[in-house]
Amino acid sequence: MAPVLLYGPHQGYPPLRRELAQWLSEVYSPPTGATTMDRICITNGASGNLANVLIKFTDPSYTRRIFMVEPTYFLACPIFEDCGFLGKLRGVPETVQDGVDIDFLRRELENAELDARNACLRSGQKDEPAAKCGPCYPHVYKYVIYLVPTYSNPSGKTVSVAMRKQLVLLAREFDALLITDDVYDFLSWQEDTESAHDAVAKPPPRLVDIDRSLPGGSVHGNCVSNGSFSKLIGPGVRVGWAEGTPAFVSQLAEVGSSSSGGAPSHLASTFVEHMLRTQWLQHYIRDILVPTYKERYCALMTAIADRLIPLGYAMEAKILSGTADETSGVAGGFFTYLRLPLGLPFAKVVAAIALKDHALRIAFGHMFTVAGDHGSVARAEADGGFAYCVRLCWAWHEADEIQEGVLRLAAVTKDVRARVERGEDVAAGISIGIR
């Protein structure tokens, strides 16, 4: 037992890295060949690793912007802010077609580059990292692009393969690091199969695999995949992994807190290794997790179709977007995003009334704006914006509770609509925390 109770190797428990490499190779079948353990660093989950990546590979004096695909996973915002990027976060709209408005992103990158060059000309300072320099920081990126490309939290959208390639090429062009939270990839199912066992569907290729397979990649690469066991075993386990080029992950492993404390979550990572090595986790995902989520997903979709669509709700996006043949008939993740019926106020008002008068808690569009970006709020609040949407989750509740929740949402909707028709100012006095 001594090795598991001592400080773990900085890059993580080698048997877990080996098991993970094998499992990831099976799940993704990367086109360039199997995932090898030198591409993997064990983490204490996607959140902690996001902070470590920023500590090791960004410098607020040099890294110009953090781009976050919006509606965004809002709890990532304070991680970026803690790492020195307060006021430097910018939203990039999702699109229904491909998943990301890449023309918008390119324009923003070009503008930020111009601003940075002009600032250097004015100040006479060199365009180089001021704080993170020297051998401990072999590559500091100019930009970060953050997204949840598969079954996004909150929108449920999946970015098409074609767009994934475009993102990798754009990141290479602008020296950007794509950080992808790939935490829902394993929860994917065919909608039309009856049998639980053949329900599991293959996730699309990760951006990190695309970065590996396209010629012309750099030593540190332009993409890191942030994986986690939180959605597979439970968030309390605090074990995850990062995958990137061998140079990237070995540098990530040398973040100061790992140099001092050893690999994060070392003891727990030995338990996870046992679960993977014995195939327990693989069977659990296939036989318990996916069938359970599929059943709850179906309960939610049926309830939405029966109770909410007749009231004027619309599914904001299919669970998967992209080219039809790439994605049809596959669903997954935790969430779906619904647009409120026309004439209703912002979803945050509906959510406040739902909580106060109907004991129903729902997540609303304003929560998913990018912190400190006025453009993100303006886009959310514009006609057709995501502030008029709610996020519903099928993962936590049993099917009968999901049905009850949707019944309550239908009642809230009728209630709010009646108040609006009576000319009441429904937003007056409403206050609901965004974060």
* Interface residues toward ligand PLP, by CB under 6 A: 45-47, 73, 148, 153, 181, 183, 228, 230, 235, 240
Least distance CB 335 / ligand PLP (angstroms): 9
Distance CA 223, CA 209 (A): 9
228 beta partners: 240
- Minimum Å gap between C-beta 179 and ligand PLP is 10
Nearer to ligand PLP, 56 or 142 (CB): 56
Distance CA 301, CA 297 (A): 6
CB of 110 to ligand PLP, least distance (A): 28
Q: Please choose, from the candidates 158, 133, 141, 116, the residue with its C-alpha nearest in 3D space to the C-alpha of residue 223.
A: 141
> In the complex with ligand PLP, which residue's Cβ is closer, 47 or 413?
47
d(CA 362, CA 163): 31
The DSSP symbol for 42 reads E
Which residue lies nearer to ligand PLP by CB, 150 or 222?
Answer: 150
- Which of residues 336 and 413 has its CB atom nearest to ligand PLP in the complex? 336
Residue type (1 letter), 87: G
- Angstrom CA distances, 58 to 85, 107, 158, 174, stand at 10, 22, 27, 14
One-letter amino acid of 373: D
Least CB distance from residue 325 to ligand PLP, whole Å? 27
DSSP state, residue 38: G
Closest approach, Cβ 73 to ligand PLP, in A, equals 4
Smallest distance from the beta carbon of 228 to ligand PLP, in angstroms? 3
Nearer to ligand PLP, 101 or 181 (CB): 181
* DSSP one-letter string for 290-305: HHHHHHHHHHHHHHII
Sign of CA dihedral 342, 343, 347, 352: negative
Q: Closest CB to ligand PLP among 13 and 62?
A: 13
> What contacts 72, CB < 8 A, 6 or more positions away?
91, 146, 368, 369, 370
Query: Computed over its alpha carbons, how large is the radius of gyration of the chain?
Result: 22
DSSP letter, residue 147: E
Longest Cα pair distance anywhere in the chain, in angstroms? 71
Q: Which residue, 47 or 222, has its beta carbon nearer to ligand PLP? A: 47
Q: How far is the CB of 257 from ligand PLP (least distance, A)?
A: 15
Pick 75 or 382: Cβ nearer ligand PLP: 75
Distance separating alpha carbons of residues 267 and 6, to the nearest angstrom? 9
Q: Which residue, 159 or 344, has its beta carbon nearer to ligand PLP?
A: 159
Q: How far is the CB of 240 from ligand PLP (least distance, A)?
A: 5
Shortest Å distance, C-beta 164 to ligand PLP: 17
Distance from C-alpha of 236 to C-alpha of 60, rounded to nearest angstrom: 31
